[in-house]
Amino acid sequence: MARMRYLKIWVGGAILLLLLVCGLVAPFLAPYDPQEQRLEHRLQPPSRGIQGSDPHWLGTDNLGRDILSRIIYGSRISLLVGATTVVLAGFMGCFLGALAGYFGDLTDEVISKISEIFLAFPFLLLAIALMAFLGQGLLNLILALMLTRWVQYCRVVRGEVLSLKERDFVVAARALGGRDFYILFRHVVPNTLASVTVIATFAMAIVIIAEASLSFLGLGVPPSIPTWGSMLSEGRSYMYRAPWLTIFPGIAIFVTVFGINLLGDGLRDILDPKLRGQR
């Protein structure tokens, strides 16, 4: 059992690391410019470039752009949006949740009511509404996704802080004259990081799917930036004539989400006190 947990972490981490490397060295790894249009090569199936033609390992799209190059560059957007959103949403949710759980009373009531308002709307529907209001753009996309994902962190951290603030080490720190904010962020919040790490891992997979969904609907980043979701959107009109336009971006999304979920599942098994002692 323990070996299986570490296997999940290794496999999921390897997939995530591979995608990270692809994104970082995309200009050197991609065989073509992802925006280069060559209409004479449009809708070319995957080939190794036989008979003197240029190789396109995953084929080309309706404008003659290389699918492999666009997938490699698309990993940049997915990982950037996923990681940035998770960090910002985690910081916001942990901060508000810690305040609500530690101070209680009016602070807890106000923050809880605000989180309930956000929970009243379906996650993706709220993201679509925010993007329709903010407009296309990478920063707007990250902001919209952050505003829809902070509530989960807030509720989990609030619940853990409610139990932690009555522990002996917190009472002792308070008796020694520690200030509330010092005790909260020096002694209480660090004890919630295990749960926050697991939440962040699974949340990153959800955010990547959300980014692809918004790009598919034309509400993500501008069309000039290659993303997996926009590639799916552009290829849906050619699903029968050129299925590789949607198959390969779909596989990229699947592999990424699968790897992140494996990593999150392994971290949960290791960090969860109820599962830690099992073998």
Q: Which amino acid is at 232?
A: L
Would you say residue 2 has pLDDT above 80? no
What mean pLDDT comes out for the span 94-114? Answer: 91
Pair of tokens at residue 225: 């930036």
- pLDDT tier, 254 (very low <50, low <70, confident <90, very high otherwise): very high
Percent of the chain with pLDDT over 70: 94
Residue 279: the pLDDT is: 45
Would you say residue 84 has pLDDT above 80? yes
Residue 276: the pLDDT is: 52
Residue 180: the pLDDT is: 84
Quote the pTM value.
Answer: 0.89
Furthest CA-CA distance within the chain: 81
Would you say residue 173 has pLDDT above 80? yes
Mean pLDDT of the chain: 87
Cα–Cα distance measured from residue 271 to residue 8, given in angstroms and rounded to the nearest whole number: 14
Domains and CATH numbers, the chain: 2-24+64-276 (1.10.3720.10)
What mean pLDDT comes out for the span 249-271? Answer: 89
Residue 229: the pLDDT is: 92
What mean pLDDT comes out for the span 31-52? Answer: 82
Residue 84's contacts (CB-CB under 8 Å, 6 or more residues apart) are 142
What mean pLDDT comes out for the span 259-275? Answer: 79
Residue 267: the pLDDT is: 85
- Burial letters 236-256, b for 16+ CB under 10 A, else e: eebeeebebbbbbbeebbeeb
pLDDT one-digit tens code per residue, 220-234: 888 888 999 999 999
Would you say residue 53 has pLDDT above 70? no
